[in-house]
Chain A
Amino acid sequence: MTVITGVGTAIGGVARPADLLLTTTPGGEDPITGLSGRGLRYKDRATKLALCAGRDALTDAGLLLDPGLAVPGESIGVVVSSNFGNVDTVCATVSTIAEHGYGATSPMMLPATASNVTASWLAISFGLRGVNLTLCNGPTSGLDAVYWAGMMIDAGRARRMLVVGVEPVNEVVTHLVGPLFDGAAALVLESEEAARERGAGSLARLGRYARRETHDEAVGHVLEQAGPVGLWCLPEQPPTAEETAGAATHDLTALLGRCSGALGVVQCVAGASWLSAGGEGAVLASVNASDAAAATVLTPAPTTAGTGR
């Protein structure tokens, strides 16, 4: 069994993860303001957002010391979900070459042409030497990333995983897909045993996941073994009230705009915050896309003495 032991966000107007449960965002300063460290000039916006959210989630989980980590770097893996994270570098490069030739490009940007650049910087910045994955899997990618994080722990490849969902807004993204969410959400998933060993409290437990042809099939599969749904974090095209059957719902797309590859992680961070604040029942998160639908269940954290937060 795996549990969520930390959450973080880097979203304008969302001061803390629990604010994802509100119905409006007040607006606020750019979340990457104040980010420091080497090589910022050559990091794309998605990477900067991910570093902020990742730092906050690791800190929340009690894993980040100043400096260093509270556990061996080999024990922590990374999964990043993003569909548009590095399209700015790719397109700016071909534009620069077309206008001014290859000599006008910077060789420092080469690694950012590969879509794993954000996961790479998370690993380097925090010393995370475990399995390192980048899922670019369309709108379901965030829930898929959370699933693979759990799978990596169950398979014994890591004891804990930092999961980050991120999408940036820039000229290229707007050209490709129009208005999009600009921000990152992050969570730390950990085996129950590993969390217990270091005395870490948990916010929620990760339950079933499915990726299926239809939304109904995916939701049906994950709810087979779940208790009553206390909160349903809705997909981008929300189901009808009849379909949600009276469950309390929360529409993060209405709050933040289309989140694409970040949505599933944003949903899980919101769900974990809701459960840790005493929400009763299970949290259902679902995403519906043209190629498939995905769904995930979160349940209340195991209650053991000394883990209260």
Chain B
Amino acid sequence: MVAVCGVGAVASAGVDVEEIFASLCGGWGAAAEPRGFDLSKYRTKLAFEIDDRPEEGGDVPLRSSRWLEHVVEVAARDAGLGEDLRDVPILVGTTLRELRSVELSWRDGIAFDTDELHFGTALRRRFNASQTFTVANACAASLYALALGTDLLNAGAADAVIVAGVDNISESTYGLLDRCYSDPPDALRPFDKGRRGMLQGEGAAAVVLRRASQATSGKVYGLVRSVAVNCDAYHPSAPDAKSIALAVRQAHERAGLTPGDIDLLLLHGTGTPLNDEAEARSLGEVFGEVRPSPWMTAIKSMTGHTAGASGLHSLLVALESMRTGVVPPVVGVTDVMDEMAGLRLVRDRAVRAAVRFAQVNAFGFGGLNAVAVVEKAADR
């Protein structure tokens, strides 16, 4: 078993874990006009951006690298690791690496060194880190990286591991999503019958992991009981409910739990027609017999889809729900999907709930599924 001993996060909804969680519980996270693109070229005019660009002018490179450095620094300090991380493996889950910087280099001639395309270069410069791995596993990336991090610890290959996720919005994905919508979304409405698609978000998150047996002093935010990963091998973008259900069952099995033990689900919930349908069907398959169902929520209606970072963002929210006994809602859902009937989706207002075990879902293009089970830290 692995303990979460330090945390860091940033997203449009807040500058740290506490602020993000407060925004979600208060229902405050909202989309705005993106500032990095010429919006006259697009129908969609909404995203959940981090507003850190210079006042004037267009986009700038290396925004993801900056956020990553920040959340790694915060999490490492939180766990008492300091700023020299030469002996600490760092796994970074990402969908788009620094591809936005590549776009700016290619189209606008903005200087960019391709050594910065993977995050090892920034992490070496900043933290002396050399055991660094950029895992480009689409929107399941940070939970996939979490699986690798727990494997490293369980193999005894390290005593502390940092797992992070980061993404900013590339124009190629923004434009192609715009192309794919039949009607551009005015909000991200997970599990709503009228959902029109996903809105992009950006941000970063990091956790410091240690073997639970060695995390006897210092903070412990929670335990990672298991992370299951698989691949649909079915379609480059459409998900497969059966394969998702397999990953969920495997996560429970690895955690030594059954569906009835799970108190809270942090769903992937992208607000796209296909994802939410497949995810809801997998929920029916696994949790159909559990009455009342576990509480279920999703963060993307208020953070946007933070892509490679989204799995860890959800996981950090799950740990905050355990600590505070409060589960944030999804907002903007007026007519919930039939497939979610009988499932306790938290809507509009936060609910109070005692949570010991939570399941966190993250899925990505290419049929990537990653499911984590986390446990509340013991009081001490």
Contact = CB atoms under 8 A, between A and B. Distances in A.
B229 interface: yes
Contacts of A106: 179
B130 interface: yes
A291 B132 contact: yes
Given A94-B171, A102-B42, A120-B366, A113 B176 contact: yes
Given A102-B41, A213-B86, A129 B118 contact: no
Contacts of A89: 172
A117 B237 CA distance: 10
A176 to B, nearest CB: 5
Contacts of B128: 213
A259 B171 CA distance: 28
A110 B176 contact: yes
Interface string A119-134: 1110110111111111
Interface stretch (A137-145, A184-192, A272-280): A137-145
B120 A131 contact: no
Contacts of B105: 175-176
Interface in B106-133: 106-107, 114-115, 117-118, 120-121, 123-124, 128, 130-133
A169 interface: no
B295 interface: no
Majority-rule SS of A interface residues: helix
B179 A105 contact: yes
Nearest to B229: A131
Contacts of A154: 155
B232 A115 contact: no
Nearest to A134: B136
Given A97-B175, A133-B135, A177-B114, A114 B365 contact: yes
Contact of A116 (B115, B137, B154): B137
Nearest to B141: A116
A116 B121 contact: no
Interface centre among A101, A105, A116, A128 (most CB of B within 10 A): A116
B136 A151 contact: no
A127 B131 CA distance: 32
Nearest to A89: B172
A37 to B, nearest CB: 13
Contacts of B97: 115, 136
- B: interface residue count bin: 35 or more
A180 to B, nearest CB: 10
B311 interface: no
Contacts of A63: none
Interface centre among A114, A117, A121, A177 (most CB of B within 10 A): A114
Contacts of A105: 175-176, 179
Given A91-B103, A110-B180, A113-B172, A292 B132 contact: yes
Interface centre among A97, A98, A130, A135 (most CB of B within 10 A): A97
A231 B377 CA distance: 51
Contacts of A114: 95-96, 136, 138-139, 173, 364-366
Contacts of A152: 151
A116 B133 contact: no
Contacts of B154: 155
B175 A131 contact: no
Contact of B155 (A86, A93, A151): A151
A78 interface: yes
Contacts of B155: 151, 154-155
Given A116-B364, A291-B132, A129 B172 contact: no
A290 B137 CA distance: 24
B170 to A, nearest CB: 7
A41 B166 CA distance: 31
B94 to A, nearest CB: 8
Interface in B146-199: 147-148, 151-152, 154-155, 170-173, 175-180
Nearest to A125: B233
A93 B76 CA distance: 38
Interface string B282-304: 00000000000000000000000
B26 interface: no
A219 B170 CA distance: 38
A251 to B, nearest CB: 22
Interface in B2-47: 41-43
Given A128-B231, A213-B124, 5 more contacts: A110-B179, A127-B233, A131-B230, A291-B124, A291-B132
25 contacts: A87-B102, A93-B171, A93-B172, A94-B171, A94-B172, A97-B172, A105-B176, A113-B99, A114-B139, A115-B136, A116-B95, A116-B366, A121-B236, A123-B233, A129-B233, A129-B243, A135-B135, A151-B155, A155-B154, A175-B105, A176-B106, A177-B114, A212-B131, A213-B86, A213-B130
